[in-house]
Amino acid sequence: MPTETLSTTHAPGRTPSPEPPPQTMRALAGRLASSVILVGLVLGTLFVFPLWTFALVVIGFVAAALYEFFTMVRHRGILVHRPLSIGLGVVFTGLVAWRSLVEPGLVPTPVMGPGATAISWMWDIFWPATIVIIFIRQFTRENTFEALGGLATTLFGLAYVAALFSYLFYIRTIDPTQGAWLVLYLILVTKMGDVGAYATGNLIGRHTLILRISPRKTVEGFVGAVLFSGLAGAAGSRLLGAQPIFGQSATPVLTLLLGVFLGLIGQLGDLAESLLKRDCQVKDAGSLMPGLGGVLDVIDSLLFTAPLFYGILIYG
């Protein structure tokens, strides 16, 4: 065919220049390298290094994610005091780490009964004090432009990132010997959903899931994410040990359902962050992790699955 002849012939004595590597291959290489580093960090902090390193790593992730979040909302024109907000998030996460790791008997607590007020200090002291502090910070500004937006965004950022990610501490301290494996199970199932969404979406993705939120997310990728998480939940059932699921002993069917549920919730978490990025008109929350974006892009699905997984373990 003429088109084939044109594509294969070239001027005498000239060597056709090689095509540059596809951008997707570079992105995949960066994604794999970042993933390997993250996996090593997770395994090291859970099973090799002392317990306090787990607290430091979680606090570090919260600080980095808060920095990205408060930087991102500035693109929206919302004025927040970033250093103060990040500092409050670090203090909150550190307090949760202390209460759950240093005094693990306080967590978990029952919904009702004598022990139900064991962590009420978080509501009785920290959050009221935080509201007062950020109001004082607003008083020192030269104008009142977007004061309400700054106050609300600061509180939302602390709740969205610091409070939700701190549930990793609660899961870690459910059982002195099994807690680390439970955290690993949560991360494995949740992130396998992200892998499934990426792989399936790139291979067979054709139908956009919600165009106004993310034009790159597809229905096929969403289904692939849920399936990958379900299979990971069943395959990793041994990580749960004797921990009951939905009030019953873990079985292949129950762990499959658990994986499917966590995969579904994890993708909702990913969509939630995509909604925020869309509103702020940014592609990624950051660029700290090549191929993966920022820290917030990495933990967005865990922000939704960690609290619900904890609730299932304790009250399910």
Crossing angle of the two packed helices 252-280 and 179-204, in degrees rounded to 10 = 60
Res 37: pLDDT: 84
Last residue of a domain, one of 128, 150, 173: 173
The Cα–Cα gap between 49 and 13 comes to 61
Instruction: Look up the domain containing 168 and give its range.
Output: 49-173
Query: Is 4 part of any domain?
Result: no
The Cα–Cα gap between 314 and 316 comes to 6
Res 291: pLDDT: 66
Percent share of the chain, pLDDT over 70: 81
Q: Are residues 103 and 195 in the same domain?
A: no
Q: Are residues 157 and 252 in the same domain?
A: no
Query: Is 235 part of any domain?
Result: yes
Q: Are residues 190 and 314 in the same domain?
A: yes
Closest to 68 (Cα-Cα) out of 55, 52, 80, 54: 80
Q: Which H or E run includes 217? A: strand 214-218
Last residue of a domain, one of 148, 173, 198: 173
Res 202: pLDDT: 82
The Cα–Cα gap between 189 and 240 comes to 12
Which is higher by pLDDT, 247 or 148? 148
Q: How many domains does the chain have?
A: 2
Which is higher by pLDDT, 75 or 108? 75
Q: Are residues 216 and 162 in the same domain?
A: no
The Cα–Cα gap between 234 and 254 comes to 8
Q: Are strands 208-210 and 214-218 parallel, antiparallel or unpaired?
A: antiparallel
The answer to whether the beta carbons of residues 158 and 130 sit under 8 Å apart is yes
Which is higher by pLDDT, 99 or 102? 99
State the pLDDT confidence band at 72, using cuts at 50, 70 and 90. very high
Query: Is 256 part of any domain?
Result: yes
Q: Are residues 180 and 111 in the same domain?
A: no
Q: Are residues 184 and 167 in the same domain?
A: no
Percent share of the chain, pLDDT over 90: 38
Q: Are residues 112 and 155 in the same domain?
A: yes
Q: Are residues 62 and 138 in the same domain?
A: yes
Query: Is 313 part of any domain?
Result: yes
Query: Is 218 part of any domain?
Result: yes
Closest to 271 (Cα-Cα) out of 229, 215, 207, 230: 215
For residues 97-107, give the mean pLDDT: 65
Using one digit for the tens of pLDDT, what is the confidence trace for 195-214? 888 888 888 878 888 888 88
Res 20: pLDDT: 45
Residues in the chain: 316
Q: Are residues 284 and 185 in the same domain?
A: yes
Query: Is 86 part of any domain?
Result: yes
Using one digit for the tens of pLDDT, what is the confidence trace for 254-299? 999 999 999 999 999 999 999 998 888 888 777 676 667 789 999 9
Res 27: pLDDT: 62
Q: Are residues 156 and 198 in the same domain?
A: no
Q: Are residues 227 and 260 in the same domain?
A: yes
For residues 212-224, give the mean pLDDT: 88
Which is higher by pLDDT, 248 or 87? 87
Q: Are residues 143 and 188 in the same domain?
A: no
Query: Is 120 part of any domain?
Result: yes
Average confidence score pLDDT of the chain: 82
Using one digit for the tens of pLDDT, what is the confidence trace for 230-245? 999 999 988 988 788 8
Res 118: pLDDT: 44
